[in-house]
Amino acid sequence: MAVTRFHLDVEVGQRRIRLEEYLFDRFPILSRMYIRDAIRGEKCEVNGRVENKGKRIRTGDFVEIELDLDRQTAMIPEPMPLEIVFEDSSLIVVNKPAGILVHPTHRKKNGTLLNGLSFHLNQHTDNGSIRPGLVHRLDRETSGLIVVAKDLNTHRILSRQFQKKLVEKMYLALVEGVLEKQSGTIEGPIGRFADEKRWGLKTDAKPSETRFRVLGARSDTSILELEPVTGRTNQLRIHCASIGHPIVGDTSRGGRTFEHLCLHASRLKFRHPKDGTLVDLTAKPPEWL
């Protein structure tokens, strides 16, 4: 076991989040259970003090933690078809189908995108040295582009771009009804209702903003291009439903039944971590479009 002590300076602009969430984002190659155990075992300090997983970290904090990066994770390599949109030595971008989990959970250990990527990235190596690191996430029922880092430095740089809102993300959605306006902005604070275990508009929650543009319409549905200015959980679903046009397939918010959610991450634009060149990628349109 090769334990390393990591020293992390919390970047300017980092939103206040729980210590465990901050570490999950920084070390995506490790299982959440392992990171929680490290915190519980007093292997983690914030500003020189041992803290629990719920400690809220902020810009300027100094985090130290002892971790073994060779620790076995839940990312069991598993062959699966992947639609690769871009790949080089630093990162890979794939077009994820609807219905596929992005990463393993304590209930589901295989059949996820990271299982497939772990196999793809290491099929020609003997030691499984490349471990896919999630930079952002898509819901299980959402299809489209997702970028995954091949090393910790790439993950750190890309994560910073996402945190500072330097990444352009665009989605396509099929929604119920025909909108009166051809473009506009949807605003409404989004938070979690703990008792009901759901996310929705909440007066005391964080402000949220989504820009929309109508690309086309039929008698009872419209195709929207959506840009999430903020990145709240289920933001696009919640905001579309809030203006009376839920996404088709989002039955919990008034959308009609469909084989999956009609929401597709269609475009990603970011700076390459190595040389700063602009990477502008577009996913193949989904069949429902």
Q: What confidence score (pLDDT) does residue 175 get?
A: 98
Contacts of residues 37-42 at CB distance under 8 Å and 24 or more positions apart, as own/partner, are 38/65, 38/66, 38/67, 39/65
Q: What confidence score (pLDDT) does residue 12 get?
A: 67
Q: What is the mean pLDDT of residues 132-141?
A: 87
Going by pLDDT thresholds of 50, 70 and 90, the confidence category of residue 128 is: low
Distance of alpha carbon 97 from alpha carbon 82, whole angstroms? 9
Distance of alpha carbon 25 from alpha carbon 23, whole angstroms? 5
pLDDT in tens, 155-187: 888 988 987 889 999 999 999 999 999 999 999
Print the domain residue range for 191: 169-265
Q: Which helix (H) or strand (E) holds 21?
A: helix 19-26
Going by pLDDT thresholds of 50, 70 and 90, the confidence category of residue 205 is: confident
Q: So which residues are the catalytic ones?
A: 139
Q: Are residues 140 and 177 in the same domain?
A: no
Total tally of structural domains belonging to the chain: 3
Going by pLDDT thresholds of 50, 70 and 90, the confidence category of residue 240 is: very high
pLDDT at 73 over 60: no
- The residue among 167, 193, 211 that closes a domain is 167
Please give the mean pLDDT across all residues of the chain.
88
> Which domain CATH number covers 9?
3.10.290.10
Question: How big is the chain, counted in residues?
Answer: 289
Quote the strand ranges of the chain, DSSP E. 3-9, 17-18, 44-46, 49-50, 56-57, 62-68, 84-87, 91-96, 133-134, 143-149, 168-176, 183-187, 190-193, 198-201, 209-217, 221-228, 263-271, 278-282
Q: Are residues 153 and 176 in the same domain?
A: no
Both structure tokens of 155: 């993950």
Residue 91 near residue 148, CB atoms below 8 Å: yes
> Which domain CATH number covers 245?
3.30.2350.10
Q: What is the mean pLDDT of residues 278-284?
A: 96
